[in-house]
Structures are given as structure tokens and as C-alpha cells.
Amino acid sequence: MATLEIRDLHVAVEEAQSPGTGGTLREILRGVDLTVREGETHAIMGPNGSGKSTLAYAIAGHPKYHVTHGAVLLDGEDVLGMSVDARARAGLFLAMQYPVEVPGVSVSNFLRTAVTAVRGEAPKLRDFMKELRGAMSSLSIDSAFAERNLNEGFSGGEKKRHEILQLELLDPKIAVLDETDSGLDVDALKIVSEGINRFRGQPGHGVLLITHYTRILRYVKPEFVHVFVGGRIVEEGGPELAEVLENEGYERFTAAAAS
């Protein structure tokens, strides 16, 4: 059973100082405990600056974020001791809030390279292209998209659909989706949500969905909702908690954290 365990996680980011003085660490995550099991979808909601994206990047291994205490385990294995690519091979996936542009690298070449790295061997080109076309069709992505430069000139919806295209092809155990609904119109939101639902509906998968708003949760219904404020989880509940946040906002939680 696929299980991601986050135990008392503390993460700091290095802040630049004046030239020649080095940087200092500022703590952002202040003890996060969370377990995502196979078949579960967890939504993390919270205001800007609460540390939600920091959690995602720390799990994925971004070098800017320093884990100062705690553990992250995938099926009992220490994720923090793995390189970024080893984490991907172990079954972790991060859909980034702001995917980067890579001029000169086509979508198809990038995806085949990523699939090769995760699966341990290069798929036959004919088989891969058939698989790619099927996944693109399910996300209403035009076939010409495969030859475009990675994320270069992509609209917000195209970037997010490409993230879900990666998700379908790489088939990880645990998907961490960082504000996948950001910048999407209604049609694109539905398509992206359908892709997430296809993924989470298959055995061996779990989802950690980070979002500001409840609109994606109308299509991707979580079993668990966690309120994130000040670098920690301050409230937990079922999907009804998302409706409370929609109606009341985060003020009650931010005020309590500040007191």
C-alpha cells in the first residue's frame, strides 16, 4: 500500500544578506504531521504565505528548502536521503505551481526522457507515441502540442494540462499537486480535474492537493481537508471543512495563530 508519511517536519529557507555576508535561515514550516495513504485525497488549504508550496517543494527535494527537523517517508523509506530523481523513481510526483520554460526541448522529448528515467528503460518509440497520443487525447490536447518547446509560450491552462499529462505517463504512487487550479478557466479546470480523478481512481495512488480555493474541490472531492496557517496544520476535517473556509475565509485561523 502506497503511503506518504510526514512527521514533525520543519523547513527553513535561506535568505540573502548583504554581499559577502552569506545568508540566514528563516523557518517556514514549524512541525507538519500528515499521512497520505493509497486511495486517499488530501486537500491542503490556506492563505498566501502560509507555507503550502514550501511543503510541496521540500517533499520534492528543492535545494532552496532546508529540512531542519523531521522525516518524510514513502512506504517506510526515507525520502529526505534521496536525490530528486531518486524520489521520482520511488514514486513521488510534483505538479508545480509555476512550471518553467525550457526552450529547445520539445514536449515529446522531455516526456520520453522523464518516462525513461522513472521506468528505468526507454520505451520503444512507437509504443511511447501511442501512449502519449492517448493521454493527450484524454486531456483534450492537440497533437501538435507534442512538438512545441516545453512550456514556452504556453497559456496557464496548457501548462497545467501538461502537468497532468506528465502525471498520467509517469504513474507515480503519490502525486503532490501545487495549486493545479491556478489560472484555469472553467473548461480547463474540468479537464484537469478529470485527469486527476482518473489517476486517483486507479489502485496504488494517493493525492496531496494544495489549493487556495474550493472550486477544484467541487470536481476533485477529497476525503480529508487540512487548514495550513503559519507553517503548520491548525485544523483538520472532512470535505465539509472546505465549505466552511469558502463561507468564512481564513481569518479565524490566522487570528488564532497570531495570538
The pLDDT assigned to 154 comes to 86
The pLDDT assigned to 17 comes to 61
Query: Dmax over Cα atoms in the chain, in whole Å?
Result: 60
The pLDDT assigned to 224 comes to 97
**pLDDT truncated to tens, each residue of the chain (259 aa)?**
799 999 999 999 987 665 555 678 899 999 999 999 999 999 999 998 899 999 999 999 999 999 999 999 999 999 999 999 999 999 999 998 777 778 899 999 999 999 999 999 999 999 999 999 999 999 999 888 999 998 888 888 888 889 999 999 999 999 999 998 888 889 999 999 999 999 999 999 999 999 988 899 999 999 999 999 999 999 999 999 999 998 998 888 888 777 6
Rounded to whole angstroms, how far apart are CA atoms 148 and 12?
37
Identify whether the C-beta of residue 212 lies closer than 8 Å to the C-beta of residue 130. Answer: no
What residue numbers bound the domain in which 157 lies?
A: 3-258
Instruction: Give me the residue label for grid cell 502537468.
Output: 163
pTM beyond 0.85, yes or no: yes
The pLDDT assigned to 19 comes to 59
Phi-psi label, residue 74: left if phi above 0, alpha if psi -120 to 50, beta otherwise: beta
Rounded to whole angstroms, how far apart are CA atoms 136 and 140?
6
CATH number at residue 56: 3.40.50.300
C-alpha cell at 188: 480547463
C-alpha cell at 100: 518553467
The pLDDT assigned to 151 comes to 84
Identify whether the C-beta of residue 35 lies closer than 8 Å to the C-beta of residue 2. Answer: no
Identify whether the C-beta of residue 72 lies closer than 8 Å to the C-beta of residue 5. Answer: yes
Instruction: Give me the residue label for grid cell 486537500.
Output: 43
- The enclosing H or E element of 248 equals helix 240-248
C-alpha cell at 228: 495550513
Query: Quick one: how many helices (H) and strands (E) in the chain?
Result: 8, 12
C-alpha torsion 103→108→110→111, nearest 10: 150
CA-based nearest residue to 37, from 234, 178, 224: 224
Neighbours of 25 (CB within 10 A): 12
The structural domain count of the chain equals 1
